[in-house]
Amino acid sequence: MSLADDLDDPLPPRLDWALWRRFLDRAVALPGPLAGVLAGGLGLALIESLRPLIVAAMIDEAAREGWSDRLSMLLGGWILLALGFAVMVWLFIEAAGRLGSGLAFRLREDAFAKLQELPFAYFDRRPVGWLLSRITSDCARVSGMAPWVILDLGWATLLMATSAAAMLWLDAGLALWVLVIVPPLAVTSRFFTRRMVETSRRIRRTNSMMTAFLNEAIAGVRTTKSLVREDAAGREFGDLASTMERWSVRNARQGAIYAPLLSTIGAAGAAIALWQGGVAVGEEALSIGELVAFCQYALLFVFPIQDLAQRFADLLGGQSAAERIEALLRAPVEIADSPAVRARIETQAARPQAGRAADGGLPRIARIDLERVSFRYERPAQDDADAPPGSRPPRADPPWIVRDLSLAIEPGQSIALVGPTGGGKTTLASLIARFYEPQQGRILLDGVDVRERSLAWLCSQLGVVQQTPWLFNDSIWANVRFGKLAASDAEVAMALVTSGAERFVATLPGGGEFVVGEGGERLSLGQRQLVSLSRAILADPAVLILDEATSSVDTETERAIQGAIDRLLRGRISIVIAHRLSTVRRVDRILFVEAGRIVEDGPHDALMAITDGRYRRLYLRQFAEERSISALAASDSEEPAGDGVRRTIPPA
């Protein structure tokens, strides 16, 4: 429902022809439907401008007493035109459907593929709903109007040209009289469509704000009730509803002036034709049939002008949607295989070397080295219109998140990253996974720069388990199988057993076929973590990157999770952003990361032995706080201290 974003930007002052050209090129790539739309439009215009001529001939012929063959021929011709008309109508609608849906299909396909390639940095600043509306409403908007723009460009221009030509052919003088109405028609259309495009944007914007408001009213009804703000919310919604009413009425009023005004101008043309034409008929310079034809042409002129104005307004209104799609399709893929890597992949595919990965390198990661790595999040370019306004970071240069950091990870080593929030733990893990690339220094896999290896291969080596596990709205089995698509049922079942998830899965209706709901909402947080760990177990990656969850789960699930993590840490390099006591106790090596640097490095016991060490302090404060509390509680009296504040930790 985020149709609203294109409404934040002001209406573009003029059409960006270069931009629309690129969409036209996409339409040209669908030559069949494009030709169908154009042929339909041109055919309709021809038929419509011929019809009054035939009717005129009929009237004049009929005026000569008696039914004649010529009359039959004219009638037959008229019926043929009618048939042709129906066929053209069918042709252009059918072709418009193919063109529109084909454009939408390809735009979506390209946009989706692009999104699968863009670096994580791209997603950091763009909420899902914002990206989603690129694929849904923006694509629908641009591709939905494209056939009509193309159709009307053909139909309207040709219809006006042929109608004018027909009139000029009938009587040049009278034609000029009637054509006087064209400038006022054009001016009126331009005046009103611009204004109506603006009011309908306001309506859509208010409407989507109202939808968001109602959505929140439903989702947050308990909070709203608890805060006793029903009346305040009612006032706010009343304001929105009134705004909606105001803009809707204004838009309707513009339409109520615009459409009658156009037909009045058209009628004025007919009036001129009747008056001047009548005089001409009196002077026998014009036949009666021709006079009727003139009146019809005058009325006919209203529609193409009205339609052209409307398409112009459509383009103007849809321009920001088009810009956003273009921005997405052209967003730079900062992290991609280099040409050299792509060449090696081709070589390996053509002449496979045994025991080598797809890019010709070693098949499995054994050791990882970081050499003087520094990283900070990039400040987006000044002209980065391709990001929602709220997400733009401050103007100042962002600070370094990882600074001049070196690290050697030995084969099979398990590592826990600990330290304060914002210290750089997650970023460090993301750099190793090549979700981001460092600005300085390099990362080596078995001595080879990570940029010299294929991205797909690297992904196949990594198992990443997120803090908030994301599950697909599918069965538990399908979610686990996501870790290894080729896995047999037995392998999937085994992974569930190994992780300890099997026990709760067995209690679910349908067992492994239980569908977990959006994001896994039908499972508890702990259960989701277990499924996500099963997925990683099945994937059996060379390198595991695990962001432990902090949230509390019940004891039994906690034990199962511990067991699953235990199982995962074995036999591979593992890097854990650790929150669990049991995990830090179990890993080979703990890195205390603070302000982008490793300040302490060693096994638990060694770090605990550093008097006043940072890890030791953290450990005592965070992991072992419970001990202090219970010790305090045991010695405390029944009543709290007089100031009403109970100290949970004795002052140091």
Partner 1 sequence: MPDPVPTLPPPPTSRVRLLWNLLEGERPRYAAAIGCTLGAAIFGYGTPLAVQAVLDGVLDPAGDPSRLAGSARITLELLGGREFLAGHLWVAGVFVAVTAVLAGLCLFGRGFLAASASQRSIRRLRERLHQHLLRLPSAFFRRSESGDLLQRLTSDVETVQNFLGNQVVEMGRSIALFLAALPLMLATDLRLTGLSVVLLPPILAFAVLYFRRVRRTFLLKDEAEGRLTARAQENLTGIRVVRAFDRGEFERERFRAANEAHRRLDRRLFGHFAVFWSVSDLACLVQMAIVLAAGLHGVTNRTLSVGDFAFFLVAVNLWLWPMRMLGRILADLGKATVAMDRLQEILSEREDPDPSPTAVAPRGSSRATASSPSPRLEFEQVCFRHAPDARPALDGVSFVVEPGETVALVGASGSGKSTLIDLLLRLDDPTAGRILIDGTDIAALPRREVRRKVASVLQQPFLYSRSIRDNVAIGRGAVEHAADAEVLAAASIAAIHETVESFSEGYATAIGERGITLSGGQRQRLAIARAVLRDAPVLVLDDALSAVDTETERRILEAMRMRIGRRTTIVVAHRLSTLEVADRIVVLERGRVVDVGTPRELRGRAGLYRRLWEIQGEVEREALAGLAGGADPSSAPEAGTGAGP
Under rule CB under 8 A, which residues in 118-147 are in contact with partner 1?
Answer: 120, 123, 127-132, 135-136
**Applying CB under 8 A, which of residues 165, 186, 252, 385 lies at the interface with partner 1?**
252
Give residue 568's identity as a one-letter amino acid code: L
Under rule CB under 8 A, which residues in 501-560 are in contact with partner 1?
Answer: 518-519, 524, 535, 539, 550-552, 554-555
Rounded alpha-carbon distances, angstroms, from residue 508 to 36, 366, 553: 55, 39, 18
SS3 state of residue 212: helix
Q: Judged by CB, which is closer to partner 1: 134, or 344?
A: 134
Q: What is the DSSP string of 427-455?
A: HHHHHHTTSS--SEEEEEETTEEGGGS-H
Rounded least distance, CB 369 to partner 1, Å: 22
The tokens for 301 are: 């002129």
CB 188, CB 261: distance < 8 Å: yes
Give residue 131's identity as a one-letter amino acid code: L
Q: From residue 152 to residue 171, what is the string marking binding to partner 1 with x (rule CB under 8 A)?
A: --------------------
Rounded least distance, CB 633 to partner 1, Å: 5
Q: Judged by CB, which is closer to partner 1: 117, or 449?
A: 117
Rounded least distance, CB 480 to partner 1, Å: 11
Q: Is 191 in the site for partner 1 (CB under 8 A)?
A: no
The tokens for 639 are: 């009543």
Rounded alpha-carbon distances, angstroms, from residue 251 to 66, 244, 246, 254, 458: 54, 10, 9, 5, 56
Q: What's the full length of the chain, in residues?
A: 652
Q: Is 391 in the site for partner 1 (CB under 8 A)?
A: yes
Q: From residue 230 to residue 249, what is the string marking binding to partner 1 with x (rule CB under 8 A)?
A: xxxxxx-xx--xx-xx--xx
Under rule CB under 8 A, which residues in 60-99 are in contact with partner 1?
Answer: 62-63, 65-68, 71, 75, 78-79, 82-83, 85-87, 89-91, 93-94, 96-98
**Applying CB under 8 A, which of residues 70, 73, 180, 275 lies at the interface with partner 1?**
275
* Count of residues engaged in binding partner 1, rule: CB under 8 A: 175
Q: Judged by CB, which is closer to partner 1: 57, or 316?
A: 57
- Span interacting with partner 1, options 23-31, 185-193, 272-280, 505-513, rule CB under 8 A: 272-280
Q: Judged by CB, which is closer to partner 1: 25, or 283?
A: 283
- 139-170 helix and 69-117 helix, angle to the nearest 10 degrees: 150
| DSSP single-letter state for residue 515 | B
Under rule CB under 8 A, which residues in 590-629 are in contact with partner 1?
Answer: 604-605, 608-609, 619-627, 629
Rounded least distance, CB 372 to partner 1, Å: 26
Q: Judged by CB, which is closer to partner 1: 161, or 641?
A: 641
Rounded least distance, CB 87 to partner 1, Å: 7
**Applying CB under 8 A, which of residues 261, 331, 494, 595 lies at the interface with partner 1?**
261
Q: What is the DSSP string of 582-607?
A: HHHHHSSEEEEEETTEEEEEE-HHHH
Q: Judged by CB, which is closer to partner 1: 131, or 305?
A: 131
Q: Is 11 in the site for partner 1 (CB under 8 A)?
A: no
Nearby residues of 544 by Cβ (< 8 Å), 6 or more positions away: 462, 463, 464, 465, 536, 568, 569, 572, 573, 574, 575, 576
Nearby residues of 598 by Cβ (< 8 Å), 6 or more positions away: 405, 407, 591, 592
Q: How far is Cα 299 from Cα 301, in angstroms, rounded to an integer? A: 6
The tokens for 391 are: 């997400």
